[in-house]
């Protein structure tokens, strides 16, 4: 048996794990960061990322979702949108992250894209104007993006950023390494070692021969799907329940004018329905629509009218779904939707159609891609599996710090919240 010893083990290198490793390393703590994936380089920003970095999974009910299995986790292949924590995290759970959010925004340079950056996006501006005519404000989104490095004609954020314009957790990992943290890649954690009610380390399979890491503290940051699987293999009851994914419907239609041509997805969105109706809406850019164009071309309508393809445009709706799903120890995913969720989907999809119609869409051309998951979480929730300090009820010195701990869906991208939560946690452990 090969054994390594350290002060803190962090499992998972996404926004949560990378931030925690960095913060602790900066304090002089001895940290080992364990990542299942590789440090992919060539495939970042290329279509090959869909077969190397992205791991596509489906629920029993057919819901499709993507996981970033690479150093940096899903931050490598996200749209770079930054949303403040939901208000209920402070008012109901009692975790105020305002200080950490402000620090993160300043540190990374989170801000909306500049106005002149978007001037060439004629199709996107038509959607913004159409929404305004319906008294719906599609506004520029706060981004983890440096516009000085970003090409406004690129819509490859979901494939990764070759220009280094989009922040990813890899930046924090590099800082952690520079301050002494050790990073193990291609290392699959199987379970947490729990002895006498205390976490003592992890069992893993890795290329360097080590199969056990012992530590004073263990932090799981393997995401809303990966974390509960490890917890279940470790005998932690209640893990895997309460699963949500912030699913979306993608609504596409054929318009009167040319659709998005080198324009950025999720650059504009409206949050005005998040609190009242449980959904948000946002624009689709070139890359996402290109996939829908292919599906349209393969359909009967597409074969008959291929000249429509350049005029395709789209809007998506993302809902905050009820935490009614489940992750099983073998990785099987159950994610049914409640009547409340179905109503959110219906209202959000209708809002998308109204915007598209106002922008000149042909009412007979609508197609909807249903149930595409975005942000898995809820599977080690505060109050059920972990306490307010994010320590597991089942074992002392075992912590969880990722979207798994959210007791319900925030209904919006959680990256900024997870980073702030990790900074908050690093002060306590």
CA distance 352 to 347: 9
> What average pLDDT does the structure give for the chain?
92
pLDDT over 70 percentage in the chain: 95
- The H or E element containing residue 204 is strand 198-205
Average pLDDT of span 111-118 = 87
The structure tokens 């073998």 sit at 330
Round to whole Å and give the CA distance between 378 and 406.
Answer: 5
Residue 304 pLDDT > 50: no
For residue 18, what pLDDT band results from cuts at 50, 70 and 90?
A: very high
């996402």: which residue's tokens?
288
CB atoms within 10 A of CB 47: 10
Q: What is the pLDDT of residue 124?
A: 95
Whether pLDDT at 289 is above 80? no
pLDDT of residue 47: 84
Instruction: Indicate if the pLDDT at residue 297 is higher than 50.
Output: no
3-state secondary structure 106-136: HHHCCEECCHHHHCCCHHHHHHHHHHHHCCC
Distance from C-alpha of 264 to C-alpha of 97, rounded to nearest angstrom: 29
Rounded distance, CA 231 to CA 247, Å?
Answer: 24
Task: State yes or no: pLDDT of 332 exceeds 80.
Answer: yes
Would the pLDDT of 356 be above 60? Answer: yes
Rounded average pLDDT over 10-35: 98
pLDDT of residue 335: 95
pLDDT band for position 3 (50/70/90)? confident
2 pLDDT more than 80: no
Please answer whether residues 49 and 40 qualify as being in contact, where contact means their C-beta atoms are separated by less than 8 angstroms: yes
Mean pLDDT of 188-197: 97
- For 43-57, 235-249, 303-317, 399-413, which range has the lowest pLDDT when averaged over its residues? 303-317
Which of 215, 296, 160 has its CA nearest to residue 24?
215
pLDDT at 118: 84
Helix pair angle (122-133, 339-358), 10° resolution: 110
Contact 340, 238 (CB under 8 A): no
The answer to whether residue 109 scores a pLDDT higher than 70 is yes
The most confident of 131-145, 204-218, 283-297, by mean pLDDT:
131-145
**CA dist list (Å): 42 to 46, 153, 228, 259, 424:** 8, 21, 31, 30, 34
pLDDT of residue 300: 43
> Of 283, 375, 365, nearest to 323 (Cα)?
375
**Residue ranges in 214-259 assigned as alpha helix (H):** 223-233
Q: How confident is the model at residue 295 (pLDDT cuts 50, 70, 90)?
A: low
With 80 as the cut, is the pLDDT of residue 373 above it? Answer: no
How high is the pLDDT of residue 117?
84
Question: Domains in the chain, ordered, with CATH?
Answer: 3-110+160-242+377-426 (3.50.50.60), 115-144+152-159+244-372 (3.30.410)
Span 33-63, pLDDT tens digits: 999 999 999 999 888 888 899 888 999 998 8
């Amino acid at each position: 048996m090969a054994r390594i010893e350290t002060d803190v083990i962090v499992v998972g290198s996404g926004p949560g794990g990378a931030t925690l490793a960095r913060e602790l390393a900066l304090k002089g703590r001895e940290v080992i960061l364990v990542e299942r994936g590789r440090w992919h380089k060539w495939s970042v920003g290329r279509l090959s990322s869909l077969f190397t970095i992205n791991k596509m999974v489906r629920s029993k009910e057919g819901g499709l979702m993507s996981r970033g299995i690479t150093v940096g986790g899903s931050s490598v292949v996200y749209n770079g949108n930054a949303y403040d924590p939901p208000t209920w995290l402070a008012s109901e759970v009692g975790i105020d992250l305002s200080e950490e959010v402000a620090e993160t925004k300043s540190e990374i340079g989170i801000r909306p894209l500049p106005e002149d950056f978007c001037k060439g996006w004629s199709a996107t501006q038509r959607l913004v104007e159409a929404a305004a005519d319906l008294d719906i404000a599609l506004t520029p989104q706060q981004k983890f993006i440096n516009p000085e490095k970003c090409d406004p004609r690129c819509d490859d954020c979901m494939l990764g950023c070759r220009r280094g314009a989009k922040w990813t957790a890899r930046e924090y990992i590099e800082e952690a390494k520079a301050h002494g943290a050790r990073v193990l890649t291609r290392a699959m954690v199987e379970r947490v070692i729990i002895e006498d009610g205390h976490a003592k380390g992890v069992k893993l399979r890795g290329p360097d021969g080590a199969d056990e890491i012992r530590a004073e503290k263990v932090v799981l940051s393997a995401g809303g799907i990966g974390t509960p699987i490890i917890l279940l293999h470790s005998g932690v009851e209640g893990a895997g329940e309460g699963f949500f994914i912030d699913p979306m419907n993608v609504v596409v239609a054929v318009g009167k004018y040319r659709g998005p041509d080198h324009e950025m997805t999720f650059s504009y969105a409206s949050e005005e329905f998040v609190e009242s109706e449980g959904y948000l809406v946002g624009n689709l850019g070139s890359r996402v629509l290109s996939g829908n164009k292919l599906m349209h071309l393969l359909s009967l309508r597409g074969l008959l009218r291929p000249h429509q393809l350049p005029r395709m445009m789209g809007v998506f709706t993302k809902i905050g779904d009820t935490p009614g799903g489940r992750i099983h120890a073998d990785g099987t995913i159950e994610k049914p939707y409640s009547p409340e969720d179905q109503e959110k989907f219906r209202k959000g999809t209708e809002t998308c159609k109204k915007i598209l119609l106002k922008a000149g869409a042909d009412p007979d051309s609508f197609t909807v891609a249903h149930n595409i998951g975005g942000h898995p979480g809820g599977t080690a929730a505060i109050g059920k599996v972990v306490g307010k300090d994010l320590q597991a009820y089942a074992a002392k010195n075992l912590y969880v710090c990722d979207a798994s701990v959210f007791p319900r869906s925030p209904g919006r991208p959680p990256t900024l919240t997870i980073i702030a939560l990790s900074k908050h946690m690093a002060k306590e452990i």
